[in-house]
Chains A and B, each alone.
Chain A
Amino acid sequence: MKFYVPPQIPRLALAFAIFITLFLVLRHFLVPDTFGKYGHYRAASLIDNAQPEIHYAGQQACFKCHQDIEDKKAQDVHSEIHCETCHGPGEKHVVSSKVEDILKPSGREFCGSCHIINAGKQKSAINQIDLNKHNVGKNCIECHNPHQPWEMKK
């Protein structure tokens, strides 16, 4: 008996071949040019990623003009906290030196964002106070110097 090939099988094979070829052709055009140059990504994305505006300057940049504050901060408990953690992104201010370009935080909630009493935080890691009990009615910085908390103002 002659070997029988049911007609639908070669037709299907053809359909699949067309599909796969189409996929490969499309893939050829769709894969970005610089893909795989350094690794499994589009090399040109490095350039894209370098484009966005810089917001944070890093605290070394602040020392150039505000060394006095750093000297204070370095002596006390806030030494590990970088300037921009409290003052917000500072790149614009570093360039312009303008007062409007930098935040000057104030208010009890601000200090509370780290120091508010919280059962989930360990007391040994960060000292916490009850905002509703600790010297209510007065701003924290009236007594504590934000850069040197234990250097109490009068």
Chain B
Amino acid sequence: MDPHYQHLYDILAHSQGYIFPNEIELQWGILIVVYPFITGLVAGAFILASLERVFKVRILQPTYQIALLTALSFLLVATMPLISHLSQPQRAYEIMITPHSSSAMAIFGFVYLWYLMVVLLLEIWFDYRHSMVVWANEKKGIMKWVYRILTLGVSDISPRTVRWDRKMGYIITVVGIPSAFILHGYVGFIFGSIKANPWWSTPLMPIIFLFSAMVSGIALVMIVYMVITYFRKKVIDLDVLDSIGKYLFFVLILDFTLEGLDQIHRIYVAEESFEIIKLLVSGKLYLTLFIAQGLVGTIIPLITLVFLQFYKHKIRVRKTMYFIVSILVLIGVYSMRWNVVIGGQLFSKSFSGFTSFKVGLIGLDGTLMAAFWLILPIGILAFLLWLLPPWRMVKEEEEI
């Protein structure tokens, strides 16, 4: 065979039925799965922190700073999967300097910047300012300067000024909740607004993304809280776990209902794309949709959480159960991202064929890179916890 056609034959051998020429190669790979997963964790962790603050859920107090720092460490990495996927990192800044308002993707830089600078950093700054001033006075050498720079040189910790910290923090949280909704709703919007793809195109998409984001963020904070407490050799507060578990349970139910609603709507309407989607779901997506997302990521955690709600169990087991449930939920949400991103590209828009996806291991768009971007935030979080340890913070008297 002519070498000219050889390449085409190799790829075509993996596709089935009739596909359009531009569908042979999947454009969005594993890093585009990781990206909404990470932003979801950010939005979810932040919303859990806001719950504590705005609705004054006192019991969640020990997780407040942990949730904020978790959100920050993942947010710092959130754009990296996109940048490495596009494999032109030296051009990444261009989206910021010449944005176009007609492109939702081009506006992302600003959504991101708003959330990072105006919401997260400010909220953390106001929250830690008092403590950082105190630390700057206690420490010696280089750390003294680090904290001094972090306070931006404001060393006033009179009660009146500190009260303002909390007032501002509160205002920012109130602004932050819709911002977190926008940040992640936006990610769903990108998919939901793609008219040509029946697997993506639904106005429910932003909402589904948002709720699964909350599910994953809450689960992550639960894990981080347990791991941190373990490493600090302190006792894990079961009341904290129980109340995080309660929120996880409610949000998971909502998420499950919404996604179910979406699917039922799809089945009932049964548009012309339905046949191919049926084949997709029962074939190429069977494992990741029904087993990973449905059974492992939703049904088992739900049953376990119901069980934990009504049945106070032996203490050790309860902790382990929460831990396992959180991990399962994270696996489920990751699979959900996979099913959306990869699933949406596995069938041809001719509705008469399937493409195939093979994950690469190396390269800017490979599995190792994806794993790296998922592990890096954990390192950042460890650093932030060392720099800004929530357990060494100056205690504020209860008010506001």
Contacts and interface: CB of A to CB of B under 8 A. Distances in A.
Interface string B13-33: 000111100000000000000
Interface residues of B, number: 34
Interface stretch (A63-71, A73-81, A112-120, A135-143): A112-120
B223 interface: no
A152 interface: no
Nearest to B125: A12
B1 A6 contact: no
Interface string A1-26: 00010111101100110010001001
B2 interface: yes
Nearest to B162: A6
Nearest to A16: B117
Interface stretch (B79-87, B92-100, B293-301, B335-343): B92-100
A109 B18 contact: no
Contact of B98 (A6, A40, A107, A109): A40
Contact of A120 (B117, B122, B350): B350
B19 A120 contact: yes
Interface string B118-156: 000010011001000000000000000000000011101
Interface string A29-67: 011000100001000000000000000000000000000
B188 to A, nearest CB: 26
Contacts of A4: 160
Contact of B122 (A12, A40, A121): A12
A48 to B, nearest CB: 14
B175 to A, nearest CB: 15
A27 interface: yes
A84 B282 CA distance: 41
B129 to A, nearest CB: 6
Contacts, number: 72
B158 to A, nearest CB: 9
A110 to B, nearest CB: 7
Given A6-B164, A119-B17, A11 B93 contact: no
B16 to A, nearest CB: 8
A27 B9 CA distance: 46
A149 interface: no
B353 A40 contact: no
B100 A40 contact: yes
Contact of B165 (A8, A26, A121): A8
Nearest to B122: A12
Contacts of A88: 2, 4
B107 to A, nearest CB: 14
A8 B156 contact: yes
Contact of B93 (A30, A40, A105): A30
Contacts of A110: 1-2, 5
A80 B348 CA distance: 25
Contacts of A103: 2, 4
B168 interface: yes
B61 interface: no
Given A7-B156, A40-B100, A109 B164 contact: no
A103 B154 CA distance: 74
A96 B115 CA distance: 60
A6 B97 contact: no
B263 interface: no
B128 to A, nearest CB: 12
B161 interface: yes
Contact of B18 (A26, A30, A40, A118): A118
Nearest to B18: A120
B352 interface: yes
B352 A12 contact: no
B131 to A, nearest CB: 14
A42 B384 CA distance: 41
Contacts of A118: 17-18
Nearest to B126: A8
Contacts of B352: 119-120
A9 B164 contact: yes
A125 B367 CA distance: 41
A142 B129 CA distance: 85
Interface of A: 4, 6-9, 11-12, 15-16, 19, 23, 26-27, 30-31, 35, 40, 88, 103, 105, 107, 109-110, 113, 118-121
Interface of B: 1-2, 4-5, 8-9, 16-19, 93-94, 96-98, 100, 117, 122, 125-126, 129, 152-154, 156, 160-161, 164-165, 168, 348, 350, 352-353
9 contacts: A6-B164, A15-B152, A19-B117, A31-B97, A88-B4, A107-B2, A113-B8, A119-B352, A120-B350
Given A8-B154, A9-B168, A19-B117, 20 more contacts: A6-B165, A7-B156, A12-B125, A16-B117, A27-B96, A27-B97, A30-B94, A31-B97, A35-B98, A40-B100, A88-B4, A105-B2, A107-B1, A109-B9, A110-B1, A113-B9, A119-B18, A120-B17, A120-B19, A120-B350
